[in-house]
């Protein structure tokens, strides 16, 4: 009986989707996105669209292999933009009404009066809500697999990881939508509040990423100042010793020697003053950066704790990117970009021959420095385990579903 009822609900869900225009509109748009990806290519000069070629220095077949190029296109446009944003919004619009319609008076009575437990009924209905995305992403991924295979000459089965990942990603939002739909019985409320929740998740994610960047920056600054503090102290000690030596007046000193000694002493004292000034500035900066580091650390811990509770939508989608692209390939592309940037900078310096501003901190503003921090940030993000990303997100979904199931099981309809 369980199988019969589950099958009946799945078939009914399919019929419901089939009756919705939005399902077919989304499918057609998916097809257009795949066709658009297939129209883009890469050659030795740059990027080609149909029969036109656009020369790009850092993005050509000499630097990036066609296989990697198509994977990047699939990840960045097909996956990150189309599936993660556009198709998800369309899916939410299409499925937001499922639970409110299901629990509407006159409709829920008919199913509750059947020999099926409330818990199973609700969870099956919830699962059928994910069918929309599962079907859409399956079609899109299969088409993308073919495009990558035919145009990029690489048959990449890991592309199909997109199916469970997108369904999981959508389920993190849909559980909230289902809970609100059940509680309010309003499609509009379910849709708007889910969008708001998604925005909150996005804000928390962005805040965490930014705070991590600032925190790493401050840590690097502190480390850099601390590293330079020791040689500076040694230089000061050396200067002090030299001054001490020069301050000793010999018993019989020639006038010329005296003049020379006093001149050296004055130079040494000026140098010491400069070094002490640098040390003072350095100490003040160190304190500032240490304070910033502590403050940012506290903020980061708080935001990270909040993020741990919430579903990790961006990281969930990042799993596919990490799986499809190797660090070597990414580094190769990044090096090419860096090299190109360096060439441009050198060219600009040659043209302008302007001295760098004294107000700016050359080390702090140096591209090597920010690049190192960005790399460390990426390393930290990539080092987060799949179990942490998916485990905490699924735990969130389980808690939300448990609340929804409790409401559904106890409510009088």
Partner 1 sequence: MTDLAIDLRGIDKVYGSLFSRRVHALRGIDMRVGRGEIFGLLGPNGAGKSTLVKILMTVIKPTRATGTVLGRGVGHKPTLGRVGYLPEHHRFPDYLTGRQVVEFYGAMGGVDRRDRKKRGAELLDFVGMSKWADTRVRGYSKGMRQRVGIAQTLVNNPDLVIWDEPTDGVDPVGRRDIREMTVELKRRGTTVMLNSHLLSELEMVCDRVAILVQGRVSSQGSVAELTIDRQRYEIEVVSEDSNVDTAVRNALARWLTPGSLTGTLATGESLHVQLDGAHAPALLKVNSAEAGVVQPLIDALRSARLTVRAVKPIRPSLEDLFMEAVTDPNTGRALAPGAKEGI
Smallest gap from residue 183 Cβ to partner 1 (A)? 15
Nearer to partner 1, 11 or 203 (CB): 11
Beta carbons within 8 Å of 249's beta carbon, 6+ residues apart: none
- The three-state secondary structure class of 221 is helix
Beta carbons within 8 Å of 242's beta carbon, 6+ residues apart: 268
Please check whether residue 38 is in contact with residue 151, taking contact to mean a CB–CB distance below 8 angstroms: yes
Smallest gap from residue 400 Cβ to partner 1 (A)? 23
The secondary structure of 1-59 as a DSSP string is -HHHHHHHHHHHHHHHHHH-HHHHHHHHHHHHHHHHHHHEEE-SSEEEETTEEEE-SSS
Smallest gap from residue 95 Cβ to partner 1 (A)? 15
Please check whether residue 396 is in contact with residue 168, taking contact to mean a CB–CB distance below 8 angstroms: no
Nearer to partner 1, 102 or 289 (CB): 102
Beta carbons within 8 Å of 119's beta carbon, 6+ residues apart: 405, 408, 409
Burial 210-223 (b: 16+ CB within 10 A, else e): ebbbbbbbbbbbbe
Cα dihedral across residues 130, 135, 138, 139: positive or negative:
negative
Smallest gap from residue 109 Cβ to partner 1 (A)? 4
Which two three-digit tokens encode residue 68?
A: 């990697």
**Cα 135–144–18 angle (5° rounding)?**
20
Nearer to partner 1, 86 or 123 (CB): 123
**CA-to-CA separations, 11 to 5, 54, 96, 124, 125, in angstroms, rounded:** 10, 48, 19, 12, 11
Nearer to partner 1, 5 or 279 (CB): 5
Nearer to partner 1, 21 or 354 (CB): 21
Smallest gap from residue 9 Cβ to partner 1 (A)? 8
Nearer to partner 1, 5 or 269 (CB): 5
Smallest gap from residue 89 Cβ to partner 1 (A)? 23
Nearer to partner 1, 80 or 120 (CB): 120
For the chain, how big is the Rg over CA atoms in Å? 31
Smallest gap from residue 126 Cβ to partner 1 (A)? 17
Smallest gap from residue 324 Cβ to partner 1 (A)? 38
> Would you tell me which residues interact with partner 1 (CB under 8 A)?
1, 4-5, 7-9, 11-12, 15-16, 18-19, 104-117, 410, 412-413
Nearer to partner 1, 105 or 231 (CB): 105
d(CA 374, CA 379): 9
Please check whether residue 381 is in contact with residue 318, taking contact to mean a CB–CB distance below 8 angstroms: yes
Residue 147 burial (CB count, 10 A) = 21
Smallest gap from residue 413 Cβ to partner 1 (A)? 5
Widest pairwise Cα distance in the chain: 118
Place of tokens 């030596």: 245
Nearer to partner 1, 107 or 244 (CB): 107
Nearer to partner 1, 9 or 201 (CB): 9
Smallest gap from residue 111 Cβ to partner 1 (A)? 6
């Amino acid at each position: 009986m369980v199988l019969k009822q589950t099958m009946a609900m799945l078939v009914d869900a399919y019929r419901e989707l089939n009756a919705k225009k939005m399902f077919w509109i989304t499918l057609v748009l998916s097809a257009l996105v795949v066709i658009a990806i297939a129209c883009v290519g890469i050659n030795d000069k740059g990027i080609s669209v149909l029969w036109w070629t656009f020369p790009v220095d850092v993005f050509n077949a000499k630097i990036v292999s066609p296989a990697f190029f198509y994977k990047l296109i699939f990840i960045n446009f097909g996956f990150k933009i189309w599936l993660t944003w556009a198709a998800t919004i369309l899916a939410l619009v299409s499925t937001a009404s499922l639970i409110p319609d299901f629990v509407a008076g006159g409709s829920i009575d008919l199913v509750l009066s059947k020999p099926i437990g409330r818990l199973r009924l609700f969870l099956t209905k919830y699962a059928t809500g994910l069918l929309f995305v599962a079907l859409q992403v399956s079609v899109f991924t299969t088409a993308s697999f073919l495009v990558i295979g035919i145009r990029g000459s690489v048959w990449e089965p890991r592309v199909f990881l997109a199916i469970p990942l997108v369904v999981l990603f959508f389920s993190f939002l849909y559980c909230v939508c289902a809970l609100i739909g059940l509680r309010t019985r309003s499609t509009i409320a379910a849709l708007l509040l889910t969008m708001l929740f998604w925005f909150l998740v996005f804000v928390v994610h962005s805040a965490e990423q930014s705070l991590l960047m600032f925190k790493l920056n401050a840590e690097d600054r502190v480390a850099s100042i601390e590293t330079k503090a020791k040689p500076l102290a040694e230089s000061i000690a050396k200067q002090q010793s030299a001054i001490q030596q020069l301050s000793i007046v010999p018993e019989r000193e020639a006038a010329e020697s005296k003049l020379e000694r006093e001149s050296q002493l004055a130079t040494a004292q000026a140098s010491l003053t400069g070094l002490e000034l640098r040390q003072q500035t350095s100490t003040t900066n160190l304190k500032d950066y240490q304070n910033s580091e502590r403050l940012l650390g506290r903020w980061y811990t708080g935001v990270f704790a909040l993020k741990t509770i919430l579903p990790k939508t961006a990281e969930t989608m990042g799993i596919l990117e990490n799986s499809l692209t190797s660090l070597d390939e990414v580094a190769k592309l990044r090096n090419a970009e860096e090299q190109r940037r360096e060439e441009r900078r050198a060219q600009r310096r040659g043209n302008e021959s302007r001295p760098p501003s004294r107000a700016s901190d050359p080390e702090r503003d140096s591209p090597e420095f920010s690049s190192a921090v960005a790399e460390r940030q990426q390393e930290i993000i990539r080092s987060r385990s799949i179990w942490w990303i998916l485990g905490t997100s699924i735990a969130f979904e389980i808690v939300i579903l448990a609340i929804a199931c409790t409401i559904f099981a106890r409510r009088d309809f």
